[in-house]
Amino acid sequence: MSMRSCIKLIEKYKRFLITSHTNMEGDAIGSELAFAFLLRRLGKTPLIVNEDDIPYGYDFLPGTRAVTRYNRSAGRISFDCFVALDCSDLHRTGEVYRLNDVNKPVLNIDHHVSNGYFGTVNWVDPHACCACELVWRLYKKLRIPISRDAALALYAGVVTDTGSFRYANTTSQTHVIAAELVATGIDVAAVYRNIYASIPYEDLKLLASILPTMRRSDDGRIVWFEVSKEILKKQKKIFFDLSENILNFGRSLKGAEVVILFKENVASRGEVRVNFRSHGLVDVNAVAREFGGGGHRTASGATVTGTLPGIRRLVLASVRKAFNACRPRS
């Protein structure tokens, strides 16, 4: 199924409940907002409901104030169509998918190669650099002019999912989209400043305390960090995207191919979030899948039950195995 079935669904219904994944970032919030702007232009009624708050650094995006947080005890929200953006499966929405126990049609718009095709209509394109690219294509197809507000939201998604045009998912098309968005007059430097250059002092100190946990394999190709419950408990509220920042440090290390972050879950006992980044040689989506997770070839994650040392052993063994399955580099 494709964009065509997606458009048919949009045309058919009036009220849309839009959501994305937990641990929101630029692509999640950007695609939601831009999609909601598009629906409004079509005379539809969109409502964005998320499990999490708007992530730190993104509240400058127009429209974020109208975003609702999921509330189990709230009254029923009536809608005709449930839209999941940037979600590989429905459980990535947290509890929000429960709002659709009324069994309304589900529109699944995503770019994760691990997408489970859970929708009534599935528009999944792993070649898209981000979910925002798909929403941008909708604007083009429907010939809807991209307002500056929509451009800002889309640009935030493009920038964050491509690592500011540095990752392997950056294509000439990515730059074509970016050029068009910038031409609407958005303030590119302000986007950077808001998303990347506004880390609270305490958060940067926390990051500094985690960096010494860095270890690497003998050949230097696997690098990992560990965040214990104790470290996280010391600082109740963390505003910036701690995981992304740690992983970026690992990724910048010479010789590193795969970077792993092990983070103990503060809320639930014996659960560890494992995030993977790869420069492309190793498919970390496949590795994450072994542990019940998924994502992209170069960025993925899984939530694993067990102790941190035990999980570390299993995960490192699996990554080593993945290296052995790769062709040796010439």
**In the complex, minimum distance from the CB of residue 171 to Mn ion, in angstroms, rounded to a whole number:** 15
Question: Pick from 86, 203, 226, 264: which binds Mn ion (CB under 5 A)?
Answer: 86
**In the complex, minimum distance from the CB of residue 161 to Mn ion, in angstroms, rounded to a whole number:** 5
Q: Interaction with Mn ion in 141-200: which residues (CB under 5 A)? A: 161
**In the complex, minimum distance from the CB of residue 4 to Mn ion, in angstroms, rounded to a whole number:** 22
**In the complex, minimum distance from the CB of residue 134 to Mn ion, in angstroms, rounded to a whole number:** 10
Indicate the residue among 86 and 89 with the shorter CB distance to Mn ion. Answer: 86
Q: Interaction with Mn ion in 12-51: which residues (CB under 5 A)? A: 27
Q: Which range touches Mn ion (CB under 5 A), out of 85-93, 97-105, 146-154, 267-275?
A: 85-93
Q: Interaction with Mn ion in 115-134: which residues (CB under 5 A)? A: 130-131
Indicate the residue among 131 and 322 with the shorter CB distance to Mn ion. Answer: 131
Burial class (CB in 10 A: 0-12, 13-18, 19+), 88: buried
Is residue 32 within 8 Å of residue 24, measured between CB atoms?
no
Each as own residue / partner, the long-range contacts of residues 107-111 (CB below 8 Å, 24 or more positions apart, any chain) are 107/6, 107/9, 107/10, 107/81, 107/82, 107/83, 108/84, 109/6, 109/31, 109/35, 109/83, 109/84, 109/85, 109/134, 109/135, 110/84, 110/85, 110/86, 110/134, 111/86
**In the complex, minimum distance from the CB of residue 304 to Mn ion, in angstroms, rounded to a whole number:** 22
Q: Does 226 interact with Mn ion (rule: CB under 5 A)?
A: no
Beta bridge partners of 48: 18
Indicate the residue among 61 and 210 with the shorter CB distance to Mn ion. Answer: 61
> What does the alpha-carbon distance between residue 249 and residue 78 come to, in Å, rounded to a whole number?
44
Residue 30's closest CA among 143, 118, 105, 111? 111
* Residues lying near Mn ion in the complex (CB under 5 A): 27, 86, 130-131, 161
